[in-house]
Structure formats: structure tokens, C-alpha cells
Structure 1
């Protein structure tokens, strides 16, 4: 999951999914074989099965998220961070940029958002012990759409292909010097592309989502690097303890540019 933190002058923070964020909602209807080229389907299934089969993993990311302002100007916000996951129900995400320094933690029960600059945090209780359920609670409770979270779902293939109308194998490309299969898919709402590492570890290295029916067709793009598929993770990463003097925020909601924000009473 991708997280964007507060401006240091205010008691608030926002979480952009990106990266990354980090998990995704459950999907119910994979695309039919007729809509997706066999080669694209095979590569996507291989990637999804491989990532879903990882009990633990860590990965770093660089994310770019575009928004279109009221005058029609497209703006891009960039940040970097890391993701640590232990299936089925533990995760930690960090994100840092010019005005960003934030973390998201899920321990199997409580989802905690922490903005370091203003020393503020907000929490939601998950309806269940899995990462998918936690992300669904974030979406239901705040209206936030985690843009890149589908890559880390329990069933990435079902989520990625939900409502797909087309899927093609574009060809071969390089991401960070690594040879990848380049796939492109469409559904009624967005076009999306994914670059999957060739070889025995079909990991996603780049993911781009283009929103078709918003003026300016803003994109969300994330590059994933330094995958560790057998890490020794410190369990303390999955536990959130409010730092001394931290203010607990009363509300978490989606702001005017689609970010997940939490505002406290001053």
C-alpha cells in the first residue's frame, strides 16, 4: 500500500494506495478466456499464483500518483517506501517523500495509521484477521480506493481480472534492467499495465493504472524493487504502539484529491 503523510504544520495525514498499499478487496468474477489472450492470461496467472503463495515477503517501491486540479492541470506526487507482509494477517507499510513520513500497521486486529511529522495516529478495527478484510474495512469506513493494493491480495488474479474486457501480451520490456513480460488490460473504468519479471520468480516489477473517464486521464504508477521472498521479519514491525505525546485522531476520511486523510481536533 502506498501511504502519504501529513504536512508537518497540521495534525493530519493521508494514505495513497498505491503501493502500494497494500492488500486489496475481494473480487468475485474473473474475466472470461475469450476476453484475454492466452499468453497474457498464462503470464498473469503465473505472477498471481507466485505472489499469493508467498507466506512472507518484503519489497521496496517508488510511486507516482497524478491528480487533476480544478483548472485542469495535471499534478504528480512522488514518494518511496517499503512493504512487509506475513500472510494471512500482518503487514507494515512505510512511505516517505518531501512532505511525507508515514506508516500503516496491521496486526491481525487493528489497522493503525501514523503520521510522524505531526506525531498523530488513527485506528480502525478490522472485521476479520486477514489483510484483505482489513483493506475492505479501510475502503468501507473511509471511501478510499487503494489503487495498487490488488497485487498483494490473497487472490490477485481474481481481483486484477474482475470486469476485464481485454488483455494482451504487449511484448518484452526492461524495468530496472530486468527483462519482463509487458501485459496490458482494460475494464470499463480503467486501463492498466503490468510488467512481470521473466524466469522462475514471476514477480511484478511495475504497475500502471490509467483512469479513463476522469479529465486528463490521471495515472498511478508504482515500481517494485528489492523483493525478498524469504525474509526474516522482526515481528515488532507488525505491532503499533503510539509514541509518547502522540495525538489520536477522531476521523479518517477521503479528501478532495482522493487521499485517505485523518483529521484531529486541535
Structure 2
């Protein structure tokens, strides 16, 4: 059953902008609503299980990473990540971001802008640091999809872990992006998949969300990093411009 908030979209046909371009109004409406719900949150937390194909000795190998993410207001972020290759954390408090390696017991402090989304974008551009599912928290996610993907369609109702979801797909020459959004009042992302068509072996990135907690009372101290005993401070250099 289609969410009552989106019922009217069923009667709006595909919008055809040009040859080989398809934009489905249902896909746009679902993404807009998801973005509006996330944008109205004062805080949230969630878990994410991700897998990424990487080139190994015998072809593509899957690497797994588990994330625990906490966000509060416009300027607080905490990410805990544990994977096959590393165990790390990121603390952002509106002034700086701290990267800490649990395995190496060292940390770096990076000056950052005073908003979470701006900080994520700048630190990614300057240092190549990836933040899990960051695109879902940018208000312009629908516009970004429409700008970069000539195909954006609704593929029907699917079930992920027993939950009914809207299945959306965006496609271009280099990438195929699919997302499953919960068919309920909150319309939150449940799973997404990226296929890199322009890379050898067409590797995939897959991620599943769980344990969404909306507007929890998160203390500010949660986002302040306290160095463990004997932890060493190191410097991270920004990437060099090519």
C-alpha cells in the first residue's frame, strides 16, 4: 500500500525531458519528503552496516564496516566506525573535528567550519575523509540527483527486513544508485546501493540503516573528544591539488 502522503503522486505520469531521460514524479516526491523529515530533526542516531567491493589478488573482495552515528543540531556529529581494516572515530563540536584511530591510539585535530554539513563537505574535499550516508542529510539531495542523473525512477514497493519500502533508482553512464525508503510517515532511508559502472569489475557499495532514533536527548559532551591515556597527537596533511 502506498503511503497516504504520496497517494496523489500515483496519478502523475513520468516526466520526459529529452531522449533517454526519465524523471518519475513519485521518485522526486518520495525523496523530497525524506529530505524534509531529516531536515526537520533536531537530533538523531542510527546504525549503518556497509560493504564495499575492493580489488584483491583474485578479483573484487568485499570489505565490511559498521557505523554508529549521532547528530545534534546544526553543529554536532559523532561517528564510530569499525571495519576489516580499521577502528576509528570522528568527533565534531562546531569548532573542530577530531579523528582518532583506536588501533594506533593516535588522533588528529582539524579546524572545521561551524556547521556540520559545511564541515563534512570541506573536510571531504580537503582530506578525502568519507562520512557515512552524508548525502542523505543535505537539503539539496533531490536537486543533486536530478542534476547528475538523467534517469530517476520509482521501481515499486519492495520489502527490506520485513518493512515495506519505496524502491527508487537513479542512473547515468558512470553510476547506478538505488535507495529503499520506508513506506510510513517518516519515509527514512532503509538501504542504498551504488554500482560504479566506470570502474573495473563494476564494484558496488551497499549499506543498510537500522535503529533510527529520532530527536533523542544527546548531551553536548558526547561530541567532545577526550584523548585516552598515552594517545599521541599527529597531523593529517590535506590532499595535494593535482
TM bin, normalised by shorter chain, reads 0.7 to 0.9
Pick from 217, 222, 225 the counterpart of residue 240 of structure 1: 225
Corresponding residue number in structure 1 for 2:178: 193
Q: Distance between the aligned counterparts of 2:237 and 2:139, measured in 1?
A: 25
Q: Given the superposition, is the C-alpha separation of residues 150 and 225 from structure 1 closer, same or farther in structure 2, using an over 3 Å criterion?
A: same
Corresponding residue number in structure 1 for 2:8: none
What TM-score do you get using the length of structure 1 for normalisation?
0.76
Instruction: Give the deviation of 1:246 after TM superposition.
Output: 0.9
Which protein shows a greater Rg? 2
Q: Distance between the aligned counterparts of 2:61 and 2:191, measured in 1?
A: 20
Instruction: Give the deviation of 1:230 after TM superposition.
Output: 2.0
Q: Distance between the aligned counterparts of 1:236 and 1:134, measured in 2?
A: 19
Indicate conservation of the 8 Å contact 1:62/1:224, yes or no: yes
Q: Distance between the aligned counterparts of 2:34 and 2:90, measured in 1?
A: 25
Q: Distance between the aligned counterparts of 2:76 and 2:172, measured in 1?
A: 30
Correspondences of 1:37-52 after superposition (within 5 Å): 37-52=24-39
Corresponding residue number in structure 2 for 1:115: 101
Instruction: Give the deviation of 1:215 after TM superposition.
Output: 0.5
Instruction: Specify which structure has the bigger relative contact order, considering alpha-carbon pairs within 8 angstroms and separated by 6 or more residues.
Output: 1
Correspondences of 1:10-89 after superposition (within 5 Å): 34=17, 35-69=22-56, 73-89=59-75
Instruction: Give the deviation of 1:168 after TM superposition.
Output: 0.8
Indicate conservation of the 8 Å contact 2:145/2:170, yes or no: no
Corresponding residue number in structure 2 for 1:169: 154
Matched positions, count: 221
Q: Which runs of 5+ in 1 are unaligned?
A: 1-31, 255-266
Correspondences of 1:197-212 after superposition (within 5 Å): 197-212=182-197
Q: Distance between the aligned counterparts of 1:132 and 1:107, measured in 2?
A: 12
**In structure 1, the residue corresponding to 2:32 is in which secondary structure?**
helix
Q: Which is richer in helix?
A: 2
Instruction: Give the deviation of 1:101 after TM superposition.
Output: 2.1
Q: Given the superposition, is the C-alpha separation of residues 102 and 48 from structure 1 closer, same or farther in structure 2, using an over 3 Å criterion?
A: same
Q: 1:151-194 CA distances to partner (integer Å, 9 max, x unpaired)?
A: 12243323444312111111111112111010000134311000
Calculate the aligned-residue CA RMSD, in Å.
2.1
What TM-score do you get using the length of structure 2 for normalisation?
0.83
Corresponding residue number in structure 2 for 1:155: 140
Q: Which runs of 5+ in 2 are unaligned?
A: 1-14
